[in-house]
Amino acid sequence: MKKFVNDPANFVPEFMAGVLAANADLLEGNLEFQMIKRKTIDASKVAIVQGSGSGHEPAHVMAVGPGMLTAACQGPVFAAPPVDACYETIKAAATDAGVLVLVNNYQGDRMAWDMACEMAEAEGIKLKQFIINDDVAVQDSLYTVGRRGVAGNFFVMKAAGAAAEAGADLDAVYAVAEKVNANVRTMGVALTSCIPPQKGDVIFDIGDDEMEVGVGIHGEPGRERTKIKPADDITKLLYDAVQSDLPFSSGDRVALMVNGLGGTPPAELYVVYNKAAKLAAETGLTIARNYVGEYCTAIEMAGVSLTMLKLDAELEELLAAPAETACRIF
Amino acid sequence: MSTLTIADVEQAIDITCDTVIRNEKYFSDLDGLAGDGDFGTSLATGFKVIKADLPTIDKSAVGAMLLKISMICSKHVGGSSGPIWGTGFMRAGMASKGMTEIDYATLVAMVGSALEGIMARGGAKRGDKTLLDALIPIHETMQAMDGSDLKAVLAAVAGVADKAIDETRNLVAHRGRASQVGERSANTPDPGIVGIATILNDWCKHYGVDFVPNAPELNR
């Protein structure tokens, strides 16, 4: 393993301290609870929190900022945040307007946030919890009952964040999250595994000439292991799975994301986007907004995921609204 | 005594820590018969932290102490046992919020709330061969008693848990990791139920309550 790591046990707090140091104007945190929050929280607006395992950066603590999350917490790499971190994050973000708790569909995350929400509600904090599950690859997997929550998470945060910023109440912000999740679909593919710092080794073996189709963002198995193909063929595999699932159909306006899983260079992401855009045109889709870059990664895994979100006027306006976060690529 | 003080609850938890830590290997071995063999270690890892932190944690009220223990459980007990046991302590803590003394009715309500929380969290019900098969009849037994003699209550619930081990031995697990091996889980005791029964058996010994268990798991 070759990584920029000191003591692997301190990896998460050290990277979080770096995020705070680089964004001292915007963010503050409490690293005892692996939590980062906005410096200024408007008490009249709905707060949005999220938290999951580390290793998916810029999700989730790096998505805190005006127009996005109010606060977020991290677990260890690929492990759910502890309940006390979730609870403190809700408390730190809580406003009079209430808190929307966004949870990706993994058993560990769900149980931790369920408990934290119950404790926070007992304290009189108004909140609603919403579960994100956009991955079309598999119905159940290693860590989930039902579909996994992956890169589509970005669109839920962005749209709900914009709605909250605009002053929508908790029910309305929740409805936006619901609408995005109902209309967003993702599938990913891995060319290599990744190395969690504390494990120090790859989490699965894959041949030089193989790919894992439908991989999860923790390296969970997907639909099948096959021989690697040219980029256009891989892109078509992903596109067809995503497009047919909703389905997206002629005349739809969409947001299309090509998300790098951490070890794939930008140029390769654009090779994928080039083909995805052509396929979308063939289906008769209009790409109203595109996102090419890293939004939800699996450490240094070489791979991509393709996400499409079907838009309506409301969602298009919410995605276009300004937002500012620690990773300024949003 | 018909009410319990913060110190009483603290002591019962301390005894529980000792029981869980002492049985780390045994509980894992039991779990290995049908599950993934981590139950004892998962639980002991968390209860070692509870044991270490117990002298210094917030003891302003029974509820505050139990909520803190719930946090430790969910943070340090691995696998699904963390949220399950953590939820039990959390619900018991909520039902005793702000109280420096708990009467029998509160104690019964704490157990009831804990098992409701565990059911909601894990999605299990009676007969699924989980610790609920001990906790639900324990709660029913407590409800049927007036609580004027807490030693009698302890003897009764220890007996209920003892019986639950044998009553569920031949069931097939429907929840938790053991459910994935289906029929293979029959003829093995559920480690969660054995855990509850062992804790109650140890409480009986500590508090001088006469109780002779039947299950071989409690007569090792």
Quick check: A101 and A111 in contact, CB under 8 A? no
CB contact at 8 A, A269 and A258? yes
B71·A83 Cβ contact <8 A: yes
Is B74–A87 a contact, with Cβ atoms under 8 angstroms apart? no
Pick from B75, B90, B97: which is nearest to A82 by CB?
A: B75
Average pLDDT over residues B57-80: 91
For the domain bounded by B4-218, which CATH number is listed?
Answer: 1.25.40.340
What pLDDT is stored for residue B176 in this prediction?
61
- Tell me, what's the pLDDT at B175? 64
Per-residue model confidence as pLDDT tens digits over A127-141:
999 999 999 998 887
Indicate the average pLDDT of chain B: 92
The pLDDT score that the predictor gives to residue B2 is 79
Residue B179 in contact with partner chain A when CB distance is under 8 A = no
ipTM for the complex shown: 0.73
Across the interface, whether the CB atoms of A83 and B121 are under 8 A apart is answered no
Which of A134-148, B9-23, B59-73, B186-200 is predicted with the least confidence, judged by mean pLDDT? A134-148
Distance from CA of A227 to the nearest CA of B (A): 31
Residue A56: active-site member: yes
Pairing of strands A99-104, A127-132: parallel
Whether residue B73 contacts residue B43, with contact meaning beta carbons closer than 8 Å, is answered with no
Per the annotation, the verdict on A218 as an active-site residue is yes
Angle at B205 between CA B200 and CA B211, to 5 degrees: 75
Considering the domain A11-182, what is its CATH architecture? 3-Layer(aba) Sandwich (3.40)
A111/B75 CB distance under 8 A? no
For the stretch A138-197, pLDDT in tens is: 888 777 788 999 999 999 999 999 999 999 999 999 999 999 999 999 999 999 999 999
Q: How many CA atoms lie within 13 A of A330 on its CB side?
A: 30
Pairwise CB contact (< 8 Å): B74 & A82: yes
Name chain A contacts of B75, Cβ cutoff 8 Å.
82-84
* CATH of the domain spanning A184-320: 3.30.1180.20
Residue B174 has pLDDT above 80, yes or no: no
Chain A hits for B117, CB-CB cut-off 8 Å, are: 118
User: What does the pLDDT read at residue A212?
Assistant: 96
Rounded to the nearest angstrom, the minimum Cα separation between B192 and chain A is 19
A interface mutation test: which of B80, B90, B179 has the most A CBs within 10 A?
Answer: B90
How close is the nearest chain B Cα to the Cα of A251, in Å? 42
**What residue of A is the nearest CA neighbor of B97?**
A122
- State residue B149's pLDDT score: 95
Tell me the pLDDT tens digit for each residue of A59-117: 988 899 999 999 999 998 998 898 999 999 999 999 999 999 999 999 889 989 999 99
Q: Which of B75, B83, B97 sits opposite A111 (nearest CB)?
A: B83
Cβ of B86 under 8 Å from any chain A Cβ?
yes
Whole-number percent of chain A with pLDDT over 70: 99
* Whether residue B1 has pLDDT greater than 70: no
| Contacts of residue A258, Cβ cutoff 8 Å, sequence gap at least 6 | A269, A270, A272, A273, A276, A290, A291, A292, A304, A305, A306
Residues on A contacting B at a C-beta cutoff of 8 Å: 82-84, 87, 107, 111-112, 114-115, 118-119, 122
Q: Catalytic one among A60, A148, A185, A218? A: A218
A224 DSSP β-pair partners: A213
What are the backbone angles phi and psi of residue A205, rounded to the nearest 5°? -95, 140
pLDDT at B184 over 70: no
CA distance A41 to A45: 8
Asked if B74 has any chain A CB less than 8 Å from its own CB, the reply is yes
pLDDT range class, residue A199, cuts 50, 70, 90: confident
> For chain A, what are the domain ranges?
11-182, 184-320
Q: What is the radius of gyration, based on Cα positions, of chain A?
A: 19
Q: What does the pLDDT look like over A218-249, one tens digit per residue?
A: 998 999 999 999 999 999 999 999 999 999 99
Closest by CA to A241, choosing from A275, A282, A212, A213, is A213
**H-assigned helices in A94-130:** 107-122
pLDDT-derived band of residue B180, with 50, 70 and 90 as boundaries?
low
pLDDT value of position B182: 64
Map out the domains of chain B as residue ranges: 4-218
- Per-residue confidence (pLDDT) for residue A141, from 0 to 100: 76
